[in-house]
Structure 1
Amino acid sequence: MTRARVNDLVVVLPGIMGSRLANADGKPVWDLSGGALGRGLRTFGGSVKNLRLPKDIGDDHPGDAVVPVGLMPDVHALPGIWRPIDGYTDLLGWLERSFTLTLGENLIPFPYDWRLSCRYNAERLRKTVARALGRWQDSAPERRDARAVFICHSMGGLVARHYVELLGGHEITRRVITLGTPHRGSLDALVHLVNGLRKGWGPLGVDLSAFARSLPSLHQLAPDYACVTGPEGLAYARDLPGLPGVDPALLADAARFHADLRGAADRPAPVPLHAITGIAQPTLTTAELTGDVLTPLWLIDGVDERGDGTVPRLSARPTNAENSGYAVPESHTPCEQHGSLQNNRGVRDALHGLLGHEPPFHRGEEDTDVLLGVVAPSLLEPGDPYEVEVTVPPEAIGTTELRIDAVLCPANGTRSLTSPLRHFGGGRYGTTFPAPEPGAYRMVVRRRGRAESAVTSLTLVGESGE
């Protein structure tokens, strides 16, 4: 296969938890993925205690000698922080195979300490890009005009945007591509902060809730839109006094972080930002506070806008700075879940167009398949059956009954299980797998014979005693 020519420096930023972390001796402190993920979490307690951040850390490093050492290769998760995410090895390999990109030369993975403020990591990104782009430009005369292109999954997009918008990165950046970045936050982050691990999976023998609540990054992922219902309608979380589990100073600082990004977009010629947005997946968008418990809800103002299952569609592209004209359209809208966007076939099609300096590839209307909305557990107690529910849009209801299969694939490569979904009427389909063994799983739902309809959900099954 002929590789498409790319003369720029391509930088790949993972999402939260997507970077491997090690201590001063090189010993991993966060490096759990794939088949070892479930077992490894049982012995993760000591690392979590050491990884917890001090209060009032702001945009600084805690001085604990923890450093990022690479991207997570496979399915990874930390209950109480974020939903399971797939790895980045396949994305990096695809980029090398498809384009004139070489790891360490003009393809640069950027691991970062995902515990810390996006501002801190943006400053590290500035230094990394300055070195790498300088070397690349100096390596051949035809590369003198090379610029940086950022491919960012989830929180990585916030890090890249802060660098580009506020640290001078716009001067050397060709474009920023975000995959499911919560530009306006995610309700999941707020729910994790408030509710902790009071439901499901127990405390894993350590106080993961306290660890989560110490992270500036997780507060910066909380919604930057009115999302908590109250007697006068929806309110911003930052405006609710005494919200349990949340550090009010970190939440207020997160609001300033997002406000700074909005304001910085006001320059006359902003860097092109391409927001790839997962759609059609049931996505928690608002919540109701009862006592000290936050109950998440699917609807906002009575409307189910959906999203990628983690980031609501309204959050997956930046809001405009006032009067800036900085409109950010959705560059591609795959029917896919958040943790698998970087490995989705349609997303790869869009990336090929963007990196090839051609218009993004979009499937024509005649090729549009029925969009499958998938609900499956992200965390499953040991011994519990695995239930999958699929919904189809109203316009597909009443048509010929769809033939839909679910395939449960262990991340350790052992034998997959396939189950056809039953139709329950009203556009609802479902199936139940017997209780899976402990470990990490990819669950792929697709219409039979229509590979392009596939939606991938990620699940972590606990072990007894967790």
Structure 2
Amino acid sequence: MARAQVTDLVVVLPGIMGSRLADADGTAVWDLSGAALLRGLRTFGRSVTALRLPKDIGDGDPGDGVVPVGLMPDLHALPGIWHPVDGYTDLLRWLERHFTLSVADNLLTFPYDWRLSCRYNAERLKGRIDLELERWRASAPERREARVVFLCHSMGGLVARHYAERLGGHEVTRRLITLGTPHRGSVEALAALVNGSRLLGPDLGTFARSLPSLHQLAPDYACVTGPQGLAYARDLPGLPGVDPALLADAARFHADLRSAPPRAELHAIVGVGQPTAASAAYADDRLTLLPELDGARAGGDGTVPRLAALPASGAGEGHAVTESFTPYEQHGSLHNNRGVRDALWGLLGHTPPGTAEDAAGSRLGVQAPALLPAGAPYEVTVTATGEELLLTAELRPADGNRPTARTLRSLGGGRYAGAFPPPQPGAYRLAVGGVTALSLVAER
């Protein structure tokens, strides 16, 4: 099949932790994915002190010699800071296979030091685009009017938005596509700051609290229930775990984006249908995550609530753009979702070959632990819409070993559940799928 023509420069930005980091000697300091994830996390937990940022770093560079060296290729996670995320290798291969795009030619990746502020990384992005777009336009006459298409997962969308809306990047941007970007933040990020990490030791919590980026992922809407009702995190004095200066600066960062409503063409792909924390109750110096906001369930992609995956309007009320596509998918897998890729065909200027994935067949909300204590069974709960389904859950080891499957039992009312025996230590992917019971009867 001939590849679809794309004459623009396409730039892929990962989310937080989605860039590999190395020190000045080229030694990896963050490169933990796939089968090596569990072993590497233990080592990282002991050496994380070296990556902690100095206080009052603001939008600066710590001068510690750490540099981004590429995108994470496979499943990666840092428990206590962010949920597991699939790597970006498959996305890049898909783009090269179906479009006239080539890595290091007109398909660029932009790894960045995800510890640092989105403003700092947007400045770096500007320098890279200035060079690469000039190179690409000069490479052939038909490319002289080429512009940039940004494809951004999670926090990468905040970096690209700051470039486009605050650094003049809208002048060369064709469109900006965000996948699960927490435009208005995520209460999960706030919980990581307040509750710290009991998973890899106190050093990880101290490391997390030094990051401007994690503060910029904190929710930019009133979502913390206190004595006076819902409040913004920045308005709660003495909130433990956060750096008040970084949290106040994060509020200014989001206000700056709201004051420059999208001038670049912005398309937000928003994960829905997954149990997602939308607010939190604060008591006894801890946050308890809650799925409701003002008494209503917001839903989302399991990490970013639906209401926060769209940029706010200039007044901070309502949304500046509408949803471009709403897949039933978890945050960490949005960029590898088949329905999302069908949407990307249209956003890159082409009609997808064949039939788009049947959205009705994939409306599954999946709840399962992101981290499991040793010796505990792995329990899965699924909600589904429509007809009664026969659902199967498959637990796939990241090291390529044989997967384990379980048929989920129906609990009635569109709810299903199942459990795997305690898995061996390691990293896993969970896949859930099924068919209607009626279709199975017809085939027998």
- Taking structure 1 as the reference length, what is the TM-score of the superposition? 0.90
Aligned to 1:463: none
Aligned partner of residue 369 in structure 1, secondary structure: helix
Structure-2 separation of matches of 1:192 and 1:327: 28
Question: Which residue of the partner structure matches residue 39 of structure 2?
Answer: 39
Q: Please report how far the alpha carbon of residue 349 of structure 1 lies from its aligned counterpart in structure 2 after TM superposition.
A: 0.4
Give per-residue Cα distances to partners, 1:331-366, cap 9 Å, x unaligned.
0000000000000000000011101256999969x8
Q: CA deviation at 1:45?
A: 3.6
**Contact 2:137 2:146 (C-alpha < 8 Å) held by counterparts:** yes
Q: Is the 8 A contact 2:377 2:421 kept in 1?
A: yes
Structure 2 residues without counterparts, runs of 5 or longer: 438-444
2:378 pairs with 1:386:
yes
Same amino acid, percent of matched pairs = 68
Q: What pairs up with 1:293-308 in 2 under 5 angstroms?
A: 293-308=286-301
Residue 234 (structure 2) pairs with residue 238 (structure 1): yes
Shift of 1:28: 0.2
The amino acid that maps onto 2:234 is R
DSSP 3-state at the match of 1:379: coil
Q: 1: distance between equivalents of 2:270 and 2:143? A: 32
1:405·1:448 contact (CA, 8 Å) conserved in 2?
Answer: no
Partners of 1:324 and 1:146 in 2: CA distance: 35
Say whether residues 1:328 and 2:321 are aligned partners.
yes
Are 1:423 and 2:410 an aligned pair?
Answer: yes
Question: What amino acid is the match of 1:52?
Answer: R
401, 423, 436: which one pairs with 1:414? 401
**For 1:423, what is the secondary structure of its paired residue?**
strand
Tell me what 2:442 maps to. Answer: none
Q: CA contact under 8 A between 2:34 and 2:74: conserved in structure 1?
A: yes
Q: Please, which runs of 5 or more residues in structure 1 have no aligned partner?
A: 451-466
Mapped to 2, the partners of 1:51 and 1:416 lie a distance apart of: 35
Alignment match, 1:319: 312
- Structure 1 contact 405–446 (Cα < 8 Å) conserved: yes
Q: Which residue of structure 1 aligns with residue 216 of structure 2?
A: 220
Shift of 1:326: 7.8
Tell me whether 1:285 sits opposite 2:281 in the alignment: no
Contact in 1 for aligned 2:258/2:316 (Cα 8 Å): no
State how far apart, in whole Å, the 2-side matches of 1:370 and 1:62 are.
45
Partner of 2:332: 339
**What SS does the corresponding residue of 1:374 show, helix, strand or coil?**
strand
Indicate if the aligned counterparts of 1:349 and 1:361 stay in contact, CA closer than 8 A.
no
CA deviation string 1:372-421 (max 9, x = no partner): 1110011111211100001124xx3xx5x310110101111110111000
CA distances 1:284-304 after superposition (whole Å, capped 9, x unpaired): 010010120111101011111
CA deviations 1:131-159 (Å, max 9, x no partner) are 11110000001000000000000000000
Shift, 1:42, TM fit: 1.4
Distance 1:186 1:48, change over 3 A: same
Q: What is the rounded CA distance, in whole Å, between the counterparts of 1:285 and 1:441 in structure 2?
A: 26
- The answer on whether the counterparts of 2:273 and 2:364 sit within 8 Å (CA) in structure 1 is yes
1:254 corresponds to: 250
Residue type of the alignment partner of 2:213 = S
Q: How far does the alpha carbon of each residue in 1:403-448 deviate from its partner, in whole angstroms, 9 at most, with x for none?
A: 0110101111110111000112232211000111111111001123
Checking the alignment, whether the CA contact within 8 Å between 2:328 and 2:362 is kept in structure 1 is no
Residue type of the alignment partner of 2:332: G
Q: SS of the counterpart of 1:403?
A: strand
Q: 1:383 is matched by which residue type in structure 2? A: G
What is the Cα-based RMSD across aligned positions, in Å? 2.1
Stretch of structure 1 that moved more, 317-326 or 216-225:
317-326
Runs of 4+ in structure 1 displaced over 3 angstroms?
A: 322-327, 357-364
Specify the alignment match of 1:211 in structure 2: 207
Match of 2:52 in 1: 52
Rate the CA distance shift 1:367–1:74 in 2: closer, same or farther, 3 A.
Answer: closer
Q: TM-score, normalised by structure 2?
A: 0.95
For residues 265-280 of structure 1, what are the structure 2 equivalents within 5 Å?
Answer: 265=261, 270-280=263-273
Per the TM alignment, residue 194 of structure 1 is displaced from its structure 2 partner at its CA by 0.3
Contact 1:350/1:362 (CA < 8 Å) preserved in 2? no
Once residues 231 and 289 of structure 1 are traced to their aligned partners in structure 2, the CA distance between those partners, rounded to angstroms, is 9
Written as runs of structure 1 = structure 2, the 5 A alignment for 1:141-180 is 141-180=141-180
Provide closer, same or farther for how the CA distance between residues 290 and 344 of structure 1 changes in structure 2, counting only shifts above 3 A.
same
Paired residues of 1:117 and 1:217 also in contact (CA < 8 A)? yes
> 1:380–1:228: structure 2 CA closer, same or farther, 3 Å change rule?
same
Query: Contact 2:390–2:436 (CA<8 Å) still a contact in 1?
Result: no
Q: State the match for 1:458 in structure 2.
A: none
Shift in CA distance, 73/235, structure 1 to aligned 2, threshold 3 Å: same
Is the contact between residue 42 and residue 200 of structure 2 (CA under 8 Å) also seen in structure 1?
no
Task: Sort the Cα spacing of 1:448 and 1:407 in 2 relative to 1 into closer, same or farther, 3 A.
Answer: farther
Q: How far apart are the structure 2 equivalents of 1:236 and 1:319?
A: 15
Aligned residue for 2:17? 17
Please give the alpha-carbon distance, in whole angstroms, between the structure 2 residues aligned to 1:438 and 1:223: 33
Distance apart, 1:29 and its partner CA: 0.3
Q: How many residues align?
A: 437
Letter in 2 for 1:444: A
Is contact 2:3–2:98 with CA below 8 Å preserved after alignment?
yes
Query: Contact 1:147–1:173 at 8 Å: present in 2 too?
Result: yes
Report the equivalent of 1:374.
366
Preserved CA contact (<8 Å) 2:312 2:318: no
State how far apart, in whole Å, the 2-side matches of 1:49 and 1:308 are. Answer: 31
Q: Which amino acid aligns with 2:415?
A: R
Amino acid at match of 2:376: D
